[in-house]
């Protein structure tokens, strides 16, 4: 199978230097491999996604010299696909409905009999409050759905993935690790019908992505993605978690770092080559 990678920004703010680094790293690699680079719009959170940010993403990436095939997928168009995957997990008894608020979870996790609260890649490890409530045959709507991690890991056992950049090598994901340090992750948010982990795993598989290239901040979440791939019978791509672009004080750039927005650099008259250099990337292969 040919090399396929993607850049999947959320249209909730301007692209900054960190995004440019990520997109260019993926694009350059696809070029070097004679493969394909896809743009995908992660707009699952419709309360924060804006069409003007989406348009700006297309514009900034094209200005940087990137090209990608059409049509560009949008997660907001794919909800029925995500719900169908949730239905299969529900039918297998691997999900449960959860009405806990963040506050409820905090309070339950800090209860004296619970021991020390564990912080996982998705926040506090869920203390299990709703896990043993009776489950209906039909999957409920309008309520958060969590993966019962213990049952999930009983179904698949140890799984693994290959990381190319950040801690390179084969990584084993064990039931103990997932149950103790990750827990019952949310796969459908009440307000969105699906959640990030589930949506990107399905998108990557349906788009036949062979290499996921993204920031090292998502390395920890990869174990969750690999578990979902195994539960849903989807292939596990190779992973490449790259370094994060940091500001002068060493802090990683966030959406609010509008000072490093690509649009602003463009308005100041900077060139794409300067953006590459600022992000610490070599000139594009075609120009050397």
Q: Which residue reads 């992973």 in tokens?
A: 239
Among 57, 266, 89, residue whose Cα is nearest residue 186: 89
Q: Which residues of 180-212 are buried (b: 16+ CB within 10 A; e: fewer)?
A: eebbbbbbbbeebbbbbbbbbbbbbbebebbbb
Among 4, 5, 10, 147, binds ligand GLU (CB under 6 A): 10
Structure tokens belonging to residue 25: 């790293």
Chain residues 165-204 in contact with ligand GLU, contact rule CB under 6 A: 200
Q: Which is nearer to ligand GLU, 145 or 201 (CB)?
A: 201
Chain residues 240-279 in contact with ligand GLU, contact rule CB under 6 A: none
State yes or no: residue 216 binds ligand GLU (CB under 6 A).
no
Q: Which is nearer to ligand GLU, 97 or 197 (CB)?
A: 197
State yes or no: residue 214 binds ligand GLU (CB under 6 A).
yes
| DSSP states along 229-255 | HHHHT----EEEEEPPPB-TTSPBP-T
For 169-177, which contacts have Cβ atoms below 8 Å and span 24 or more sequence positions? 171/222, 171/223, 173/223, 173/226, 173/227, 175/150, 177/223
Among 8, 85, 188, 245, binds ligand GLU (CB under 6 A): 8
Number of C-beta neighbours around residue 228 at 10 A = 24
199 touches 78 (CB < 8 A): yes
Residue nearest to ligand GLU (CB): 42
Q: Which residue reads 């103990």 in tokens?
A: 176
State yes or no: residue 9 binds ligand GLU (CB under 6 A).
yes
For residue 215, the minimal CB distance to ligand GLU (Å) is 7
Q: With CB under 6 A as the contact rule, which of the stretches 8-16, 24-32, 171-179, 268-276 interacts with ligand GLU?
A: 8-16
| # chain residues binding ligand GLU, by CB under 6 A | 7
Among 117, 179, 218, 232, binds ligand GLU (CB under 6 A): 218
Structure tokens belonging to residue 158: 């140890």
Q: Which is nearer to ligand GLU, 40 or 276 (CB)?
A: 40
Among 65, 69, 4, residue whose Cα is nearest residue 35: 4
For residue 10, the minimal CB distance to ligand GLU (Å) is 4
Among 11, 16, 17, 42, binds ligand GLU (CB under 6 A): 42
Contact residues toward ligand GLU (CB under 6 A) are 8-10, 42, 200, 214, 218
């Amino acid at each position: 199978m040919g090399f396929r990678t993607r850049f999947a920004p959320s249209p909730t703010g301007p692209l900054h230097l960190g995004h440019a680094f990520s997109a260019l790293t993926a694009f350059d690699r696809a070029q070097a491999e004679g493969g394909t680079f896809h743009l995908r719009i992660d707009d699952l959170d419709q309360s924060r996604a804006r069409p003007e940010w989406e348009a700006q993403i297309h514009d900034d990436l094209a200005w940087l010299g990137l090209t990608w095939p059409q049509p560009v997928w949008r997660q907001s168009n794919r909800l029925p696909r995500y719900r169908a995957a949730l239905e299969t997990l529900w039918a297998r008894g691997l999900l449960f409905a959860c009405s806990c608020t963040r506050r409820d979870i905090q309070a339950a996790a800090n209860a004296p009999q619970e021991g020390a609260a564990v912080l996982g890649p998705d926040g506090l490890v869920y203390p299990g409050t709703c896990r043993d409530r009776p489950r209906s045959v039909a999957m409920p709507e309008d309520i958060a759905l969590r993966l019962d991690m213990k049952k999930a890991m009983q179904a698949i056992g140890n799984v693994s993935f290959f990381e190319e950049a950040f801690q390179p090598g084969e990584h084993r994901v064990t039931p103990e690790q997932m149950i103790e340090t990750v827990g019952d992750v949310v796969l459908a948010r009440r307000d969105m019908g699906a959640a990030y982990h589930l949506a990107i795993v399905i998108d990557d598989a349906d788009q036949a992505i062979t290499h996921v290239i993204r920031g090292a901040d998502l390395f920890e979440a990869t174990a969750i993605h690999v578990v979902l791939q195994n539960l849903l019978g989807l292939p596990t791509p190779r992973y490449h978690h790259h370094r994060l672009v940091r500001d002068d004080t060493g802090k990683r750039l966030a959406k609010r770092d509008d000072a490093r927005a690509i649009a602003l650099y463009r308005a100041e008259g900077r060139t794409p080559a300067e953006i590459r250099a600022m992000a610490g990337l070599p000139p594009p292969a075609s120009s050397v």
